[in-house]
Amino acid sequence: MSEVTASQKHPKGLWVLFGTEMWERFNFYGMRTLLTLFIVNSLMMSKEDSSLIYGGFLGLCYLTPMLGGFIADRFLGNRYCIMLGGLLMAIGQMLLFFSASIFSSNLDLAKTLLYVALGIIILGNGFFKPNISSMVGSLYPKEEKSKLDTAFTIFYMGINVGAFLGQFICPMVGDVVNADGTRDIFAFKWGFLAASIAMMIGTITFYLLKDKYVITPEGKPIGGLPKNNDASDFEEGEATSAKFSTKSIGIAVVAFVVLTVVFNQLFGQNWIYSIIYGSGLTLAGLILSDTSLTKIERDRILVIYIVSFFVIFFWAAFEQAGSSLTFIADNQTDRNFFGWNMPPSMVQIFNGIFVVAFAVPFSMLWDKLRAAGKEPTSPFKQAVGLLLIAVSYFIIAHNVKDLGNSGLLAVKWLVLLYLIQTFGELCLSPIGLSLVGKLAPKRFASLLFGVFFLSNASGYALAGTLGSILPATGEQFTRAEEAGIDLQAVLDKTVEPTGKDLFLLAQFNIAKIKNESLEKELKPIIEQNNKMIETSKKENENFKLDREKLTFPSVDTLTKIESEKTIVAANPVFAGFEIHNLFEFFMVFVILCGVASVILFMLTPTLKKMMHGIK
Binding site for ligand GLN (CB under 6 A): 25, 159, 315, 429, 456
- State the nearest-atom distance from the C-beta of 433 to ligand GLN, in Å: 7
> Parallel, antiparallel, or unpaired for β 577-578 and 573-574?
antiparallel
- Which residue lies nearer to ligand GLN by CB, 25 or 608? 25
> Taking each helix axis from N to C terminus, what angle separates 77-102 and 12-41, rounded to the nearest 10 degrees?
30
Three-state secondary-structure class, residue 576: coil
- For 446, residues 6+ apart whose C-beta sits below 8 A from its C-beta are 69, 73, 130, 134
For the stretch 556-585, what's the b/e string if a residue is b when 16 or more beta carbons lie within 10 angstroms of its beta carbon?
Answer: ebbebbbeeebbebebbeeeeeebebbbbb
- Which residue lies nearer to ligand GLN by CB, 431 or 480? 431
- State the nearest-atom distance from the C-beta of 315 to ligand GLN, in Å: 6
User: What is the Cα–Cα distance from 569 to 513, expressed in whole angstroms?
Assistant: 9
- State the nearest-atom distance from the C-beta of 168 to ligand GLN, in Å: 16
- State the nearest-atom distance from the C-beta of 48 to ligand GLN, in Å: 23
Q: Shortest CA distance to 24 belongs to which of 86, 105, 69, 70?
A: 86
232: number of Cβ within 10 Å: 7
- Which residue lies nearer to ligand GLN by CB, 281 or 436? 436
- State the nearest-atom distance from the C-beta of 31 to ligand GLN, in Å: 13
- Which residue lies nearer to ligand GLN by CB, 159 or 198? 159
* Alpha-carbon dihedral sign for residues 73, 78, 82, 84: negative
- Which residue lies nearer to ligand GLN by CB, 167 or 507? 167
- State the nearest-atom distance from the C-beta of 351 to ligand GLN, in Å: 8
- Which residue lies nearer to ligand GLN by CB, 259 or 454? 454
- State the nearest-atom distance from the C-beta of 372 to ligand GLN, in Å: 29
> Parallel, antiparallel, or unpaired for β 333-334 and 409-410?
parallel
- State the nearest-atom distance from the C-beta of 129 to ligand GLN, in Å: 7
- State the nearest-atom distance from the C-beta of 321 to ligand GLN, in Å: 10
- State the nearest-atom distance from the C-beta of 429 to ligand GLN, in Å: 5
User: What is the Cα–Cα distance from 253 to 289, expressed in whole angstroms?
Assistant: 13
- State the nearest-atom distance from the C-beta of 78 to ligand GLN, in Å: 17
- Which residue lies nearer to ligand GLN by CB, 354 or 586? 354
- Which residue lies nearer to ligand GLN by CB, 103 or 315? 315
Between CA 348 and CA 375, with CA 388 as vertex, the angle to 5 degrees is: 120
> Parallel, antiparallel, or unpaired for β 512-513 and 567-568?
antiparallel
Q: Which residue is nearest to ligand GLN (CB)?
A: 456
- Which residue lies nearer to ligand GLN by CB, 264 or 429? 429
- Rg of the chain over Cα atoms, rounded to whole angstroms, equals 25
Q: Based on the number of CB atoms within 10 Å of its own CB, is 244 exposed (0-12), middle (13-18) or buried (19 or more)?
A: middle
- State the nearest-atom distance from the C-beta of 462 to ligand GLN, in Å: 13
- Which residue lies nearer to ligand GLN by CB, 315 or 477? 315
User: What is the Cα–Cα distance from 202 to 204, expressed in whole angstroms?
Assistant: 6
Q: Phi/psi class of residue 268: alpha, beta or left (left: φ > 0; alpha: ψ in -120 to 50)?
A: left
- Which residue lies nearer to ligand GLN by CB, 140 or 314? 314
Check: CB of residue 414 under 8 Å from CB of residue 467. Answer: no
- For 231, residues 6+ apart whose C-beta sits below 8 A from its C-beta are 239
- List Cα–Cα distances, 351 to 300, 346, 420, 578, in angstroms: 32, 10, 9, 30
* Alpha-carbon dihedral sign for residues 518, 521, 523, 525: negative
- Which residue lies nearer to ligand GLN by CB, 223 or 352? 352
User: What is the Cα–Cα distance from 307 to 384, expressed in whole angstroms?
Assistant: 13
- Which residue lies nearer to ligand GLN by CB, 41 or 456? 456
| DSSP symbols for 87-147 | HHHHHHHHHHHHHHHHTTT-HHHHHHHHHHHHHHHHHHHHHHHHHHHHHHHHTS-GGGGGG
- Give the 3-state DSSP-derived string for 204-256, with helices as H, strands as E and coil as C: HHHHHHHHHHCECCCCCECCCCHHHCCHHHCCCCCCCCCCCCHHHHHHHHHHH
- Which residue lies nearer to ligand GLN by CB, 166 or 344? 166
- Which residue lies nearer to ligand GLN by CB, 40 or 159? 159
Phi, psi of 49 (to 5 degrees): -65, -40
Phi, psi of 568 (to 5 degrees): -115, 125
Q: Shortest CA distance to 573 belongs to which of 323, 268, 333?
A: 268
User: What is the Cα–Cα distance from 179 to 186, expressed in whole angstroms?
Assistant: 14
User: What is the Cα–Cα distance from 279 to 277, expressed in whole angstroms?
Assistant: 6
User: What is the Cα–Cα distance from 29 to 162, expressed in whole angstroms?
Assistant: 8
- State the nearest-atom distance from the C-beta of 417 to ligand GLN, in Å: 16
- State the nearest-atom distance from the C-beta of 137 to ligand GLN, in Å: 15
- State the nearest-atom distance from the C-beta of 175 to ligand GLN, in Å: 21
